[in-house]
Structure 1
Amino acid sequence: MLELEPKDFLVIFTFIMGFIIVFQEGFYYHY
């Protein structure tokens, strides 16, 4: 099983939030 450190959770969380923001911006600009 993969061992995750607190900083790894922060990186994953930031990556997911960034992806959602970019996706929403692209969605709004498309329409």
Structure 2
Amino acid sequence: MDATVLEITKDGVRVQLTSGMSMIVRAEHLVF
């Protein structure tokens, strides 16, 4: 799934999916 990072906050990252939907991904859900 491709997504663009819109904003990085203290709680997580706001991303916009290629479908146009944006969502907040919480920091603990990110895997690097």
Do these two structures clear the TM 0.5 threshold for a shared fold by scoring above it?
A: no
TM-score (norm 2): 0.21
Q: Judging by fraction of residues, say which structure has more helix.
A: 1
TM-score (norm 1): 0.21
Q: Judging by fraction of residues, say which structure has more strand.
A: 2
